[in-house]
Structure formats: C-alpha cells, structure tokens
Amino acid sequence: MEWIKKRVIELQEKYKTVDLHELATLLNVIVIPFDLHDEIKGIYKYDRRNKYIFINSNLSANEQRVVLAHELGHAVLHTRSNTKFLRANTLFSINKIEKEANIFAAELLINDDELKEEHHLSLQQIASLHMIPIELIELKRKGLFL
C-alpha cells in the first residue's frame, strides 16, 4: 500500500522528526499510559475533535513503541474510528483498518535503507535488531520489494 508509505514520508518531512512521541504531539494526539486489561495493548479514541491514544503501561518500552506507532496509524489514517489494539490477534488481523495501521507502523518504525542494507539477515534477525515483531518486518519487506 504505497499511499500509506507516502503518508508516513510526508509526515516525517513536514515535522522533521521520526520520534513517535514528538510526532504525536505535533499531530495533536494526546498519549496516555494507562493500566489496561492484559489483552489490550492500546486504544485509539476520537472524541469531539480530540485524539487520544491509551497505551497499556504494563508493556515493555519496546512494545509500547510498537503500539504507539500502530495507534498513530489510526490517528492519521482513520481519524474518526475508535479502535482497540488487542494482544492476541491484531498483527494477524484481516480487518482493513488494522492492516493499514500495521503497515503504517512498519513504515514508521523501519527505514527503507536500513532494511535494504540488512537484506542478508533473516527476518528474525532484523526483527530482533529493531526490537519489533517479525510480522511488521514481513509487511515492510513485502511493500519494499513489490
């Protein structure tokens, strides 16, 4: 989905940052760490022109980073849709908006040039190096080599 990649590049160029928290602030998205149920990684909520991301505060810092990237995808691509990022199945979701948020997260978290340089590594090695789920590496690599 080339349009998602273009949207990520436009945001990074416009705001001159790849920092997720800074990007959220610049996009007027309020990020709130919250003690959520074990099955919920994050929630994106739109309410009266306000955008909120609730991230499960019980997750590791790396998991929170991935969840934030995913939820930012909803904030940018699906502004008026309220969503929950579930622990068990969201990375394997067939739901269109969840797939799009995952692609957005992959594009936001992984630089094209780095992935090209790491072509000799296995997907597991790349995922470990970037500390993100292998499913996002697969999405990024699929988009990069279409």
| Confidence at residue 123, expressed as pLDDT on a 0 to 100 scale | 86
* pLDDT tens, the chain, 146 aa long: 789 999 999 999 999 999 999 999 999 999 999 999 888 999 999 999 999 999 999 999 999 999 999 999 999 999 988 777 665 555 555 688 888 999 999 999 998 887 888 778 888 998 898 899 998 988 888 766 54
| Confidence at residue 91, expressed as pLDDT on a 0 to 100 scale | 56
| Phi, psi angle pair for 95, to nearest 5° | -65, 130
| Confidence at residue 101, expressed as pLDDT on a 0 to 100 scale | 92
| Confidence at residue 39, expressed as pLDDT on a 0 to 100 scale | 87
CA 119, 123, 124, 127 dihedral sign is: positive
Tell me the pTM: 0.89
| Confidence at residue 146, expressed as pLDDT on a 0 to 100 scale | 45
Q: Per-residue DSSP letters for the chain?
A: -HHHHHHHHHHHHHHT---HHHHHHHTTEEEEEE---TTEEEEEEEETTEEEEEEETTS-HHHHHHHHHHHHHHHHHSTT--EEEETTTGGG---HHHHHHHHHHHHHHS-HHHHHHTTTS-HHHHHHHHTS-HHHHHHHHHHHT-
